[in-house]
Amino acid sequence: MSTRKNETMVRARINGEEVAFLCEPRETLLDVLRNDLELTGVKEGCGNGNCGACNVIMDGVLVNSCLVLAVEAEGRSITTVEGLAAPDRLHPLQQSFLEHAALQCGVCTPGFLVAAKSLLDHNPHPTEHEVRYWLAGNLCRCTGYDKIVRAVLDAADKMDGN
């Protein structure tokens, strides 16, 4: 049952697939990803740009999807945590997060992974300082960050070796 007003059709490329969806102008990209496209790996922690749990990569740029309107996705290419690796594999970052126990409750993890992926896309050999600086937009209440930083550095090393 549709109860939407002023619906707009939006076409975008999401995790490599062409997708079309209807949305209201007031809906955020996060709303649409979670509620309409069932990409619930994208999390909402704050809805106001503070926590980074909703991070996605849009045309190569790391964004908080809670601060992007769904209509702004028109013609864009978007990567969420679900699109980091082929379904039967893990991205080296995902593997590294597991090995370094870089998650406890795990609700911040999709955002950290997407943010870290974006970092390594821009800078494949980051220093610890650069990792910490880049991930400053992501909040984790459980881990204390250290294991996350180590997991990212280790993944960068391993990806370098491949």
Q: Which residues bind another protein (CB under 8 A)?
A: 1, 3-4, 24, 26, 34, 38-48, 50-51, 53, 80-82, 84-85, 87-90, 94-95, 97-99, 101, 103-110, 113, 139-142
Of 31, 24, 20, nearest to 7 by C-alpha is 24
Q: Which of 60, 141, 144, 160 binds ligand FES (CB under 6 A)?
A: 141
Q: Enumerate residues 6+ apart whose C-beta is below 8 A from 87.
A: none
3-state secondary structure of 73: helix
Residue 75 or 80: the one with the smaller Cβ distance to another protein is 80
103 binds ligand FES (CB under 6 A): yes
* Closest distance of CB 137 from another protein, Å: 13
CA distances from 155 to 33, 63, 130, 137, 144 (A): 27, 22, 14, 20, 19
Q: CB-wise, 46 or 90, nearer to ligand FES?
A: 46
Other C-beta atoms closer than 10 Å to the C-beta of 133 total 12
List of residues contacting ligand FES (CB under 6 A): 44-47, 49-54, 64, 66, 103-108, 140-143
